[in-house]
Amino acid sequence: MKICVCVKHVPDTAATIKIDGETGFKDSEIKFVVNPYDEYGVEEAVKLKEKNGGEVVIVTVGKPEAAATIRSALAMGADRAILVTTDSQFLDASLTAKALRSAMEKDGLPDLIFTGKGSVDTESFQTQYRLAHSLGIPVVNEVSTLSVDGKKAVAELEVGGGDKQVIEMGLPCVIGATKGLNEPRYPKFPDIMKAKKKKIDEMTLADLGLDASAQGVTLEKLEPVPERTGAKMIEGSVEEQVTELIRILKQDEKVL
Amino acid sequence: MASTGILIETENGAVKETSLGVMTAAADQEIIALVTDTDPAGLKDKLAEYGAAKIVKLTAAGKDVSASPDLAARALAAVVEKYGLTALLGTASTTGKDLFARLAAIMDQPMVSDCVALDIQAKTAKKSHFSGKTFATLKVDAAVFLATVRPNAIEAKASAGAGEIEAFSADVTDPGLVTIKEVKKGDAGKIDLTEAPVIITGGRAIKAAENYKMLEDCAAKMGAAVGASRAAVDAGYAPHSMQVGQTGKTVSPKLYIACGVSGAVQHFAGMKTSKVIVAINEDKDAPIFAKCDYGIVGDIFDVVPVLTEKL
């Protein structure tokens, strides 16, 4: 079984984003990682390979620096990778999906595709759907339990209010992974060394016949979310503190 | 005037408050409210009060569209064409996000997920980038503006509409790609975290799963949902479905009360856009106090029961 895992190169969630100009950010000063949700996809793919044999290919659309992030995914046990290079962190979901599809078609379509449920940078939650639709295959997102046999996949996902749906679909399909699916492994030193020798095929959007200027969504402005400057501390005995808190929430803030 | 479709979500036969907020986002447009799962007659007064010119009961060839997410998405695409909509908005709930992503893929149109503000005329939307650390303003180049709105991000305001009811049976079929085999019901009557107007969250200091009962009692007095921090989930005190923050749920309630939550960046990623944040923590140096609105230094097991009693 050939499994492709779409991995995005994103700033570490603990990194401070320093805005640069209207739409840029200082990406050379911060650490980038495998998008946390994609890690669940990598882990699940590697586990399936360990059980059934086959091959796990990482597919990334991102800046050339994404190669370092891809090495982390390879250290988790993936076999090789494809990197479609762009010069922007903010390629829209439609174009990203087209690039992922073209890269996979060129390499030979897989039997199963994993993505994360979304990326923690642009949070647009749709690339996996566009990829699946263009391939004419099923997609299910926010999957926390999965079983795969030769012909079908059964996925469990939360649908709100604690309810869960069990969904069956044929292969190939796209699975958007989320927390609960597995515990992503921490690569050991020998795995990290081995990953350095694994192959990363690089190509550009243009090599795939795609044009970065053809995007439906443009980033006009990036601005920091206003930070709160520190709490107003409520003093006194527990009784007094609670009475004052309720007064504030009801009268001043009108949220109760 | 240009028409905007709003996909209405309901609960127990009533319009969800979050859907009224989405209607308010389109107050300058002619609003067509789309109802899929409920008899529209019972929703008419509320939807008209919040500006619906038309209320359309949507079916797929006369049948319920919710049989499959792909069927529902195809039915929505048919509505866009039938009514010549220039925008279609929904709630960024679990199902809303899924449905709009499917719709955007089918229509091959851009879509902005989880907006906190939008301008339909200008086709711009504001949404979180980098896990709640920045806001991005996105410009959409599309014939039809598709977007989902973060629950509670836009406050609902009444604005009268005619509220004429009609039915539309979309001539679409399910492509049969996915089959819903089973729905496992969670705790009945639980308020959905992502849509709750008030949330009370327990962190590591909750110490045991059974202690969430204390928060549930308090939540019941406020019509609130109960959340958990990652630390509490990882310690096995609460299920992942209750987790707020990075790798959990993103919420934006009017009031967020964090009990015994230290306040990691990843937690803030999931609740930073809440209107008012209150923290109760034993440690006066807990990072959460630097980034919330009101703080009480104290043991949650002393403070919360008094809060429950006085509410």
Strands A55-62 and A2-6: parallel
Contacts of B286 in chain A (CB under 8 A): none
Q: Which residue has the tokens 């086959």?
A: A54
Tell me the two tokens of residue B218.
């308090």
B127 interface with A at CB cutoff 8 Å: yes
Render pLDDT for B148-162 as a digit per residue (tens, 0 to 9).
999 999 999 999 999
Residues B103 and B77: beta-carbon distance below 8 Å: yes
Give the pLDDT mean for B56-66: 94
Provide the shortest C-alpha distance from residue A211 to chain B (in Å): 16
**Are B134 and A223 an interchain contact pair (Cβ–Cβ within 8 Å)?**
yes
The pTM is what? 0.94
Query: For position A174, what pLDDT does the model report?
Result: 98
Interface test with B, best of A124, A157, A213, A222 (most B CBs within 10 A): A124
Contacts of A93 in chain B (CB under 8 A): 110-111
Beta-carbon contacts of A250 under 8 Å, excluding residues fewer than 6 positions away, are A256
**Are B255 and A249 an interchain contact pair (Cβ–Cβ within 8 Å)?**
yes
Query: For position A161, what pLDDT does the model report?
Result: 72
Q: Which 60-89 residues of chain B touch chain A by CB within 8 A?
A: none
Q: Is ipTM strictly over 0.90? A: yes
Beta-carbon contacts of A246 under 8 Å, excluding residues fewer than 6 positions away, are A256, B307, B310, B311
- The Cα angle at residue A128 between residues A122 and A134, in degrees rounded to 5: 125
User: Would you say residue B15 has pLDDT above 90?
Assistant: yes
Residue A199 backbone dihedrals phi, psi, to 5 degrees: -85, 135
- The Cα angle at residue A50 between residues A46 and A54, in degrees rounded to 5: 80
Fold (topology level) of A2-208: Rossmann fold (3.40.50)
User: Would you say residue B187 has pLDDT above 70?
Assistant: no
Closest Cβ–Cβ partner in A94, A162, A242 for B306: A242
User: Would you say residue B232 has pLDDT above 80?
Assistant: yes
User: Would you say residue B188 has pLDDT above 60?
Assistant: no
Share of chain B above pLDDT 70, in %: 98
Pick the residue from chain B with its C-alpha nearest to A256: B222
Rg over CA atoms, chain B = 20
User: Would you say residue B277 has pLDDT above 80?
Assistant: yes
Beta-carbon contacts of A79 under 8 Å, excluding residues fewer than 6 positions away, are A49, A55, A56, A57, A198
User: Would you say residue B223 has pLDDT above 80?
Assistant: yes
Give the pLDDT mean for B284-294: 96
Residues A3 and A45: beta-carbon distance below 8 Å: yes
**Are B192 and A160 an interchain contact pair (Cβ–Cβ within 8 Å)?**
yes
Query: For position B186, what pLDDT does the model report?
Result: 76
Contacts of A116 in chain B (CB under 8 A): none
Closest Cβ–Cβ partner in B124, B180, B241 for A220: B124
Pick the residue from chain B with its C-alpha nearest to A216: B141
Closest Cβ–Cβ partner in B97, B135, B276 for A225: B135
User: Would you say residue B244 has pLDDT above 90?
Assistant: yes
B42 interface with A at CB cutoff 8 Å: no
Going across the sheet that includes B134-140, the strands are A217-224, B134-140, B124-129, B111-119, B145-149, B87-91, B3-7, B30-35, B52-60, B164-170
Find the range with the poorest average confidence among B107-111, B213-217, B244-248.
B244-248
- CB contacts < 8 A, A to B, total 237
Which is more confident, B189 or B216? B216
Give the pLDDT mean for B55-75: 95
Sequential DSSP letters for B155-185: ---------EEEEEEE-------EEEEEEE-
- pLDDT-flagged residues of chain A (< 70): none
Give the pLDDT mean for B249-276: 94
**Are B296 and A222 an interchain contact pair (Cβ–Cβ within 8 Å)?**
no
* Per-domain boundaries in chain A: 2-208, 226-256
Residues B110 and B142: beta-carbon distance below 8 Å: yes
Query: For position B1, what pLDDT does the model report?
Result: 66
Which is more confident, B179 or A213? B179
